[in-house]
Structure 1
């Protein structure tokens, strides 16, 4: 797992042909706005999160975010523990995000 700044995260993700953006917030938070192209899996729903995480391609690079960076850090560690090699946490989360947001 790596904690990346907003700039590092967006630049690296943009150049990565193997990138998947993962939003680990709740459905209600996701509905308020999300980073374009994000796949949402709610980390608060533990069993469902783990089930869906295990179905992800472990060879992809996951760019993970939440509201402020805490849950996404946990999600990155969980992803690493189930065999995902590359998980990048967005420091500061979506509340500090300066890029595009879909509503």
Structure 2
């Protein structure tokens, strides 16, 4: 797990053909907008959260964010425990995000 500044997080994603973006916020938070191409997996989902993580391809590179960077840091730690090799936390989360947000389809 690695904490990345927004600049580093975005530049890595742009160069990473195996990038998967995960939003671990709640449904209500996601309703306010989500980073484009992100997968929503609520960290408060308990076993459902674990099951959805386990269904992902662990060989990919995962870029995780939440509201402030705290829950996504926790999610990255959980992912490492589950055997994910590359999990990157967005420092400052969506509160410090300067890019665009889209509606979740």
User: Normalising TM by the smaller chain, what interval?
Assistant: over 0.9
TM-fit CA distance, 1:98: 0.6
Q: CA RMSD in A?
A: 0.6
TM-fit CA distance, 1:31: 1.0
Residue by residue over 1:65-89, the C-alpha shift from the partner in whole angstroms, topping out at 9 and shown as x without a partner, is 0000000000001111111100000
**TM-score normalised according to structure 2 size:** 0.96
**TM-score normalised according to structure 1 size:** 0.98
Give the unaligned 5+ runs of structure 1: none
Aligned to 1:56: 56
Aligned to 2:78: 78
TM-fit CA distance, 1:93: 0.1
Aligned to 2:92: 92
Which 4+ residue blocks in structure 1 deviate beyond 3 angstroms? none
Task: State the SS of the aligned residue for 1:102.
Answer: coil
Whole-angstrom CA distance in 2 between matches of 1:47 and 1:29: 20
Aligned to 1:36: 36
Residue by residue over 1:35-80, the C-alpha shift from the partner in whole angstroms, topping out at 9 and shown as x without a partner, is 0000000001111100111111000000000000000000001111
Give the unaligned 5+ runs of structure 2: none
Aligned to 2:22: 22
Whole-angstrom CA distance in 2 between matches of 1:31 and 1:39: 13
Whole-angstrom CA distance in 1 between matches of 2:30 and 2:56: 19
